Amino acid sequence: MNNMKKISLFVTLFIAPALLLCAQTTAPKTSKPPLKKAAAKPAVKKAAPVPAAKPEPAAVSAPAADPLAESLEKIKSTDREERRKAADYIGQSRNPKGAPALMAALSDDAPRVRQSAADALGMLTWREASPKLSDMLINDGDAGVRQQAAISLSYIMDQAAGPALVKALKDTAPSVRYAALHTLAVMKYSAAEGEMIGLLSSGDSNMRRGAISALGQLQSKKAAGPLAAAMKDSDQYVRLEAVKALGSIGDTSSAGELIKLLAPGENAQLRVEAAYSLAKMDMNDGLPVAYEYAKSADLSVRSQALNVLALAGDARTLQFIEELYTAEQDPAGKGMLDFTRQRLMLRIKTLQKK
C-alpha cells in the first residue's frame, strides 16, 4: 500500500510535468499568412504646363502737365481770379517764356490782374516792360497798380523810368509816393536830388525819412546842410535817419552837430549812431560812447558800438575788446567780439604801416 502511494507521488512530481513539457514543445506552430505586397500606385501624370499669360501692354501714361503751359492758357480765362493766379504763377516760375502773356495782361480790365502781371514782370526783371510800367505808374486809375508799377521798376533798374518816378512823387496816394521814392533811391537816380531835398520839408514824416535815406544812398553832398538841420526834427526816427545819412555822405561840415548828439541826454540809439557816423569820417569823438554801450543788452546798440570801436579804436581799445572777449560766456557774443577784434587788429596794422 505504501509502495503504491510512493509510485503515485513519483508520477505526480516527475512524470506528469515531463509529459506536459513534451506536449508543448511538439505542438505545431501556426504559421502566419504571408504578407501581400502593396500594389504599386499608378504613376500620377504630370499636368501639362499652362502657357504663361502674355503680359498686358503697359498703359500709356498721359504726358505730365506743364504748369507754365496751363498758366498761359488760364491767363486768357474769362474768370478774372483765374487770370490773376495765372499771372502770379508765371512770375513765381521765373520763366521768361511767360513774359509776352504778362505784357498783354498789363492791359487787363481787372486791376488785380494788372497788378499781378506788373509784379510778375518785375520778378522776371523784364526790361521791355519798363516803358509800359512807367506809363501805368502815371496813368493807371488804380493806386495799387501804380504802386506795384513803381516797385517792379526797382527790380528792372531802368534809368529811363526816372522821370515817371519823379512825377510819381506827387501822386495822390501815399503808398505810390513811398514806392516811387524808394525806387529812385535804389536806382541812385541823381537827377531827382533836388526833388528829394524838397521833400525834407514835407508834412509827412514818412516821406521825410524816405527822402533822407535816399539822399544818403545818393551820397549827396548838396544835401549835407539840410540833413544837418533834419537832426533837429521833431520826429526821432527822422533825426536818426539824418544821422545815418550824414555818415554815409561823409561830409565833415556836419561833425559839430553830430558831436552834440553824443551827450548823455540823448537816447542810446541816437548817440551810438552819431558815434558811428563820426567814425566813418575818421573821427574818434564817439569812442567814449562806444565803450559805454559795448556791453549793452540791446543787441542793435551793442553791435553798432562795436562797429565804432572797430573803425575808430586803438591799442587801448584792442585791450578792452580782449577783456570783454575773455569775460563773455555767450557764444554769439564771443563771435561778435572776435569779429570786432579782427577788424581792429587790421586797422592798427594798417595805421602802423603809414
Counting the structural domains of the chain, the total is 1
Residue 269's nearest CA partner among 227, 295, 304 is 304
For the CA atoms of 310, 313, 314, 318, what is the dihedral angle to 10 degrees? -50
**What does the pLDDT read at residue 62?**
55
Residue 91's nearest CA partner among 148, 146, 136, 147 is 148
Other beta carbons less than 10 A from residue 300's beta carbon: 12
Per residue in 118-171, pLDDT tens? Answer: 999 999 999 999 999 999 999 999 999 999 999 999 999 999 999 999 999 999
Judged by phi (left if over 0) then psi (alpha if -120 to 50, else beta), residue 71 lies in alpha
| CA–CA distance, 67 with 86 (Å, rounded to integer) | 10
**What does the pLDDT read at residue 43?**
52
| CA–CA distance, 353 with 112 (Å, rounded to integer) | 61
| CA–CA distance, 219 with 221 (Å, rounded to integer) | 6
Is residue 315 in a domain?
no
DSSP classification of residue 294: T
| CA–CA distance, 273 with 234 (Å, rounded to integer) | 18
Is residue 180 in a domain?
yes
Q: Are the C-beta atoms of 179 and 171 separated by less than 8 Å?
A: no
- Regions in the chain scoring below 70 on pLDDT: 1-64
Distance of CA 45 to the CA centre of its chain: 73
Assigned C-alpha cell, 47: 499636368
Is residue 333 in a domain?
no
Assigned C-alpha cell, 208: 521825410
Is residue 171 in a domain?
yes
Is residue 301 in a domain?
no
CB-facing half-sphere around the CA of 18: CA atoms within 13 A: 6
Is residue 37 in a domain?
no
| Dihedral sign computed on CA atoms, order 273, 276, 281, 284 | positive
- Domain range spanning residue 83? 67-187
Assigned C-alpha cell, 221: 553832398
| CA–CA distance, 162 with 172 (Å, rounded to integer) | 19
**What does the pLDDT read at residue 61?**
58
Q: Residue 103 belongs to a domain with what CATH number?
A: 1.25.10.10
Is residue 350 in a domain?
no
Is residue 295 in a domain?
no
| CA–CA distance, 264 with 271 (Å, rounded to integer) | 8
| CA–CA distance, 192 with 71 (Å, rounded to integer) | 39
**What does the pLDDT read at residue 353?**
87
> Residue 202: helix, strand or coil by DSSP?
coil
Q: Are the C-beta atoms of 221 and 251 separated by less than 8 Å?
A: yes
| CA–CA distance, 283 with 259 (Å, rounded to integer) | 10
